[in-house]
Structure 1
Amino acid sequence: MVNAHPGARMVLVAAIASGQGKTTVTAALARRLARMGQRVRVFKCGPDFIDPMLLERASGAPVHTLDLWMTGPEQCRQQLAQAAREADVVLIEGVMGLYDGQPSAADLAREFDLPVLAVIDAAAMAQTAGAVVLGLRDYGPVRLAGVIANRVASEGHARMVAASLREVPLLANLPPQAHSLPERHLGLVTPEEVGGLDALLDQLAAQLVLDEDAWSTLAPRLPDAVTPEPIPSLLAGKTVAVARDAAFCFLYPANLDTLHALGARLVFFSPLADDPVPADADAVYLPGGYPELHGATLATAGRWQVSIRAAHRAGIPILAECGGMMAIAESITDQQGHTWAMAGLLPGAVAMQARLAGLGPQSMPTASGPLRGHTFHYSRMATTLAPAACTSKYPSGSEGEAVYRQGALTASYFHAYFASNPQAVAALLTGRAW
């Protein structure tokens, strides 16, 4: 029997290093293909929150995570198979340089036989582009489908780059941009903070010089369907209140999907809008974000602070991750030196700093087994509270982030990827993690 669905063109977009323009190029390509009438799905390789927000705006569809360790090979395979059946094009943005990290973007490409599109910053090179690209291809090796050259000055410059690539096609190029996406200490700013973002994405799509004939030679693929393991309805009948606004925006889409699969009813509220914790909440989830940028607003959000303290006193399980933990400490001192009073569920003061304080994949021990995720923060919390546990860094196994327990509250700089262990998440949100 012939399957009526032809599958999707699937490519991993990678580069020699960070800062080459992977996100810009992936966003431009996603928007361009979507404007051509293609159904586009985008994934992000490795733990990230902000790039997926931007890529979601560019593609018009949620952006999920692919990571051989955190997500796991089977979940990666399942997501790719599903996307290939729903879309015409699947783009996967790599992380750092193609071969950086354990696991790397190259590892992901080889695991699933994904062709690679190499992004190169051609602003200060011409023929040397070929040496860079062939080195990227052969070092692993990986299956290289083509090159997208970023910051190409002219048609002549593009021809020189293309000639240097030998048998590798130059699939597209993008000129230097007068307006780039602004950045801050955790990477790109969120899409809501970029004025005229959709116009900028449309401009990038229009400026992308795409060789449509070369693009059309990429063969669609239809990976074998994978049946996911059923998730028990351990949160059936439970209402989980999720903080979601500009201060609490670091949230994997898979985390919400996992809560739904566990049977939870989700309600959202905004501490920045001084929303109280919903009265019918059986548990509260405070994701990470940028509370330090909204210290003045959170410090004067009286209804929010009173309600989260009342929920804590009532023994309602609370899971606070990174920025969520910062917002329920006693205070936050921001990068300008201003100190703002927070909800005070945890004894301790948070202070921003210029240097990175934590980075990398980690796992948190629970009675249901390890819960995988990552950490990435530029602040430290000084507290007299002793940790109830510590995460383990991957792959070294050395001690990672402190995990604090205060009544039914669990708080840490650790960001959990819920789909890695739904049973552990259910235990955390019912107060039975240890």
Structure 2
Amino acid sequence: MQQAKTRSCPALFLTAPASHQGKTTLTAGLARHHRNQGRTVRVFKTGPDFLDPCILERASGNPVYSLDLWMTGAADCRRRLHDAAADADLILIEGSMGLFDGTPSSADLAAAFGVPVLAVIDASGMAQTFAAVAQGLSTFRPGLAFYGVVANGVASTRHAELLCELLPSSLRCVGTVMRDEAMTLPERHLGLVQAQEIGDLEQRIETAAARIAVTALTDLPPPVVFAPATQAPIPRLLADTRIAVARDQAFSFIYPANLELLIALGADIAFFSPLANDPLPVADAVYLPGGYPELHLDTLSASGVTKATLHAHVAASRPLFAECGGMLYLLDSLTDLAGATAPLLGLLPGRATLQGRLAGLGLQSVELEGETLRGHTFHYSSLQTSLAPHTHARRASGTARGEAVYRHGSIVASYLHCYFPSNPGATARLFKP
């Protein structure tokens, strides 16, 4: 067998000292700028995220996959980067939170694959201190390849001068991006507003691209060499299995890699929309992913056709796997942040309430029938149910108990969002009739 060869491609890792610095906006603008120049741009997102990747996909025109040394694994990261380098003119990776936050961190990922780091710093409210923050990021971890820094949210030409005044000669400022509400991406409690809900998203991305066009980021970064990764053949454990997947604005938190794995396992995928009151397609199993059911309570409560066909599916003892928002949809009722309550499917006993503070966050894994799936949790609701948990997930770090996993007849449900490629065999068991 011929051994796969290394591939090289210009690549850049966009990070920041913290969240809310404008990473996604500038990554989208950078991707769109180079796409407008006729280049093929592949973008990746660090860590678990469903919202940023959809915006980055719109900007680049290509699917956006998650990279995480723990959740997706180093081999999965290596394979996806190597595959992208086959046809990309530029690879961009957007980090999560701050450069050194988390275990593993964005810095760990950048170092693992030798991708140079570009720090995006929101400069509003600071002047010469910008240089101290930039220098701290660039020198905190010796050996980390550092490409430069971008000042975001700059107020004026004079402000830009003050920001760069004390930067050491060894640290390059590759751009100062002026403050511009026309390119700002709107947010809500779980992060950015979904791409399909932003009516002027194209205009916002193009505005960001225009801001990038007057910086040194118009130049391609140096090429990075990406090594190949071997992948074990995926057995067709779901051959002749049809899986109905809910997908609309209420249920959109789906890793592209999850659907691709189900197909590689042999499954046939059929989508349906509870918001459109679609009947459940003829299917052997159902996947209810996470999303924003709390924003569509009245519509979901009135979707009688979807409700009746899901009830029939469960009554026939066919598998149903639900994650986070999908699990909330199964409950007797859900109360939103304004205090409005609506009855939902009533397939899982209990009720949930949205709250103003974060209730669950972090990387976790769960063992089901001796097989371990990795994933993450991120939610603002609390659940009250008479069901005893079937098991609990384990946190990637720390000693606190992870999310509960419930079994109720043919239903498996949890707040945990699973990354299916972390264990194809365990994934197949969730959907196998």
The normalised TM-score by structure 2 is: 0.95
1:197 maps to 201
Read off the aligned partner of 1:390 and give its amino acid letter: H
Question: CA shift at 1:203, angstroms?
Answer: 1.1
Alignment pair present for 1:306 and 2:308? yes
Q: Residue deviations 1:352-390, cap 9 Å, x none?
A: 111111110000111242100000011111110111111
Q: Secondary structure at the match of 1:79?
A: helix
> Kindly tell me: are residues 209 and 120 of structure 1, through their superposed partners in 2, closer, same or farther at Cα, counting changes over 3 Å?
farther
Matched residue, 2:171: 168
Which stretch shows the higher mean deviation, 18-27 or 4-13?
A: 4-13
Secondary structure of the 2:348 match is coil
Counterpart selection for 1:234 from 226, 234, 237: 237
Shift of the alpha carbon at 1:96? 0.5
The match for 1:147 is: 149
Give the Cα separation in 2 of the matches to 1:283 and 1:342: 20
TM-score of the two chains, using structure 1 as the length reference: 0.95
**2:188 matched to 1:187?**
no
Alignment pair present for 1:260 and 2:263: yes
Query: For 1:4 and 1:118, how far apart are their aligned partners in 2?
Result: 31
For residues 18-50 of structure 1, the C-alpha deviation after alignment (integer angstroms, 9 at most, x for no partner) is: 111111111111111111111111111011110
- Map 1:103-142 onto structure 2 (within 5 A): 103-141=104-142, 142=144
* Partners of 1:172 and 1:209 within 8 A in 2: no
Query: How far apart are 1:5 and its partner, in Å?
Result: 10
For the structure 1 residues 6 and 259, does the alpha-carbon distance in structure 2 shift closer, same or farther, using more than 3 Å as the test?
A: closer
Change (3 A) 1:103 1:346: same
CA separation in 2, counterparts of 1:57 and 1:387? 39
> Are residues 83 and 397 of structure 1, via their aligned partners in 2, closer, same or farther at CA, if it must alter by over 3 Å?
farther
Percent of residue pairs bearing the same amino acid type: 51
For 1:197, give the aligned amino acid: L
CA distance in 2, matches of 1:61, 1:210: 24
Paired position in structure 1 for 2:346 = 344
With over 3 angstroms needed to count, the CA separation of the structure-2 counterparts of 1:83 and 1:360, relative to structure 1, is: same
Is residue 33 of structure 2 the alignment partner of residue 37 of structure 1?
Answer: no
Equivalences, count: 427
- Does the CA-based 8 Å contact 2:317-2:409 persist in structure 1? yes
The one-letter amino acid paired with 1:245 is D
The structure-2 alpha-carbon separation of the partners of 1:364 and 1:213, relative to structure 1 and needing over 3 Å to count, comes to: closer
- The two structures, once aligned, show a CA RMSD in angstroms of 1.7
How far residue 126 of structure 1 moved from its aligned partner, in angstroms, is: 2.9
Paired AA for residue 317 in structure 1: P
Structure 1: state its 5+ residue gaps.
none
Q: Which is worse superposed, 360-369 or 221-230? A: 221-230
Hey, what does 2:383 align to over in structure 1? 381
Indicate if the aligned counterparts of 1:173 and 1:209 stay in contact, CA closer than 8 A.
Answer: no
Kindly provide the amino acid, as one letter, of the partner of residue 398 in structure 1. A
Q: CA deviation at 1:232?
A: 0.8
**Aligned partner letter, 1:312:** V
1:154-175 deviations in whole A, cap 9, x for unaligned?
A: 3343344344332222222311
**Distance in 2 between residues matched to 1:317 and 1:359, nearest whole Å:** 27
Task: Tell me, in whole angstroms, the C-alpha distance in 2 between the residues paired with 1:113 and 1:373.
Answer: 25
Aligned to 2:75: 74
Structure-2 change in CA distance of 1:121 and 1:209 (3 Å): farther
1:23-82 alpha-carbon deviations (Å, 9 max, x no partner)? 111111111111111111111101111011111111111110000000100111111111
Confirm whether residue 276 of structure 1 aligns to residue 288 of structure 2.
no
Contact 2:265-2:428 within 8 A present in 1 as well: yes
Alignment correspondent of 2:9: 8
Question: 1:251 is matched with which residue?
Answer: 254
Say whether the 8 Å CA contact 1:5–1:85 is kept in structure 2.
no
Shift of 1:206: 0.8
CA distance in 2, matches of 1:319, 1:430: 11
Between the two structures, name the one with larger relative contact order (CA 8 Å, sep ≥ 6).
Answer: 2
Aligned amino acid, residue 182 of structure 1: P
Q: Supply the distance in 2 between the matched residues of 1:244 and 1:66 (Cα, whole angstroms).
A: 23
Amino acid corresponding to residue 259 of structure 1 in structure 2 = L
Runs of 4+ in 1 over 4 A off after TM superposition: 3-6
Structure 2: which 5+ runs fail to align? none
Counterparts of 1:24 and 1:385, CA distance in 2: 42
Distance 2:294 2:395 in 1: 26
Q: Secondary structure at the match of 1:258?
A: helix
Q: Does the 8 A contact of 1:169 with 1:214 survive in 2?
A: no
Q: Which residue of structure 2 aligns with residue 98 of structure 1? A: 99
Whole-angstrom distance in 2 between the partners of 1:266 and 1:368: 26
Q: Secondary structure at the match of 1:340?
A: strand
